[in-house]
């Protein structure tokens, strides 16, 4: 089974996936970012399908269609999100139902959305963590595949806590993806 990794950021999660020797066929980014360099350094093909509009009028459906057309032509089996900063339209989760994985910096269902670490700190949480889940049309609502708790310390800043969560993500996410691929292979390539 071949994986396409969708990324937008520095590439630390992508690097962990590459280091875990997952079968990554390609990386797709929605903006020029550090993940491109990580992919290039590892000799993994990388494609930028650039998102130029970050306004409230962003045409999510059109961007999703462009990305979906590219991925379908690439013949990948599984999509792995690694800090991908664009929420995609439901057409993506429909087409790749049960085959898109994401990691989220909180113990879902708590603290959904883009500011999970900030929200956990603002709420005074004593524990947060990392969740690996399947992607559905509803953001951060898909079936949970794995979770691991991370303590919140009184002197944590958003950056410090997020880095401690990323340390867990860089270990938990690749292991969960391998388990997912193994299970899919046992079922004959379907999930």
Which amino acids are annotated catalytic?
104
Residue with tokens 């292979």: 185
CB 7 within 8 A of CB 33: yes
Distance CA 188, CA 142 (A): 23
Q: Is there a contact between 145 and 176 (Cβ–Cβ < 8 Å)?
A: yes
Run of H or E including 184: helix 158-186
Measured CA to CA in angstroms, residue 80 lies from 22, 58, 132 at distances of: 11, 23, 10
Instruction: Report, in angstroms and rounded to the nearest whole number, the Rg of the chain calculated over CA atoms.
Output: 16
């Amino acid at each position: 089974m071949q994986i396409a990794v969708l990324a937008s950021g520095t590439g630390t999660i992508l690097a962990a996936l590459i280091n875990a020797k997952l079968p990554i066929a390609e990386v797709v980014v929605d903006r020029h970012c550090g993940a491109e360099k990580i992919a290039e350094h590892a000799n993994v093909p990388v494609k930028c399908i650039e998102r130029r509009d970050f306004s409230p009028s962003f045409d999510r459906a059109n961007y999703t269609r462009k990305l979906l057309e590219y991925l379908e032509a690439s013949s990948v089996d599984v999509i792995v999100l690694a800090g991908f900063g664009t929420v995609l339209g439901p057409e993506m989760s429909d087409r790749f139902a049960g085959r898109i994985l994401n990691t989220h910096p909180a113990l879902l269902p708590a603290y959904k959305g883009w500011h999970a670490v900030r929200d956990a700190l603002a709420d005074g949480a004593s524990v947060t963590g990392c969740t690996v889940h399947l992607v559905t049309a509803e953001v951060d609502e898909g079936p949970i595949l794995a979770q691991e708790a991370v303590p919140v310390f009184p002197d944590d800043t958003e950056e410090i806590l997020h880095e401690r969560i990323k340390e867990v993500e860089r270990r938990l996410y690749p292991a969960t993806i391998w388990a997912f691929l193994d299970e899919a292979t046992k079922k004959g390539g379907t999930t």
